[in-house]
Structure 1
Amino acid sequence: MSQNKIRYKATIAGKSYTIIGSRPEVHLKMVAETVDEQMRQIESLSKDLDPERRAVLAAVNAVSDQLEMQIKMMEMQNQLDELELKLKEIQE
């Protein structure tokens, strides 16, 4: 299983990290760039926050975005289910 994992070296908030994952390198790069961007945005808004607090806020933002997307996916699945039911009713 470890043969599917890749190592990606990234710089986030001025520090070097090695990210190990099974996603393609382009995905890991986009993730690292997004986290770095969010950290810089948080720093520009609240310069008095230490790096650990900025990282926690970035994590909170990421989880919030993830939950919002999950809600949207569930809503879309419900709409799809309703449309499939209507289509089935029309076909009968």
Structure 2
Amino acid sequence: MSEIKKRFKAKIGNRTYTFVGRSSMEHMHAVTDLMNKQLNQLNQLSSSISYEDAMVLLAFNAISDQLKMQGKLDQIEKDNKEEH
């Protein structure tokens, strides 16, 4: 990752956001694409959901996935320490 912060404009749903960070442009495009895909899926499942509620659900799901992955990583690290 680069040490220089960059601005990245992302169109998510029907809104444009500007993010500042050190991630590569490829990473930011991948995140934007995945967010739009998941936002479209939420809208297809519940067409009456508001944009704000869909974004909260998207964030909730992302944090839930992050916690699950962190738990798996913690378990792998624990298992590796026990082996050595």
Judge conservation of contact 1:7–1:19 (CA < 8 Å) in 2. Answer: yes
Which sections of structure 1, spanning at least 5 residues, go unmatched? 85-92
Greater Cα shift, 8-17 or 69-78: 8-17
Tell me how far 1:9 sits from its aligned partner.
Answer: 1.7
2:15 equivalent to 1:15: yes
Tell me the distance in 1 between the aligned counterparts of 2:56 and 2:16.
Answer: 18
Structure number with higher relative contact order (C-alpha < 8 Å, ≥ 6 residues apart): 2
Tell me the distance in 2 between the aligned counterparts of 1:70 and 1:38.
Answer: 21
Runs of 4+ in 1 over 3 A off after TM superposition: none
After TM superposition, the score normalised by the length of structure 1 is: 0.83
Structure with the larger helix share: 1
Give the secondary structure class of the aligned counterpart of 2:48.
coil
After TM superposition, the score normalised by the length of structure 2 is: 0.90
Judge conservation of contact 1:19–1:28 (CA < 8 Å) in 2. Answer: no
Give the number of the structure whose alpha-carbon radius of gyration is greater. 1
Give the secondary structure class of the aligned counterpart of 2:75.
helix
Paired residues in the alignment total 82
What is the root-mean-square deviation of aligned Cα atoms in Å? 1.2
Tell me the distance in 1 between the aligned counterparts of 2:39 and 2:19.
Answer: 17
Q: Which amino acid aligns with 1:12?
A: I
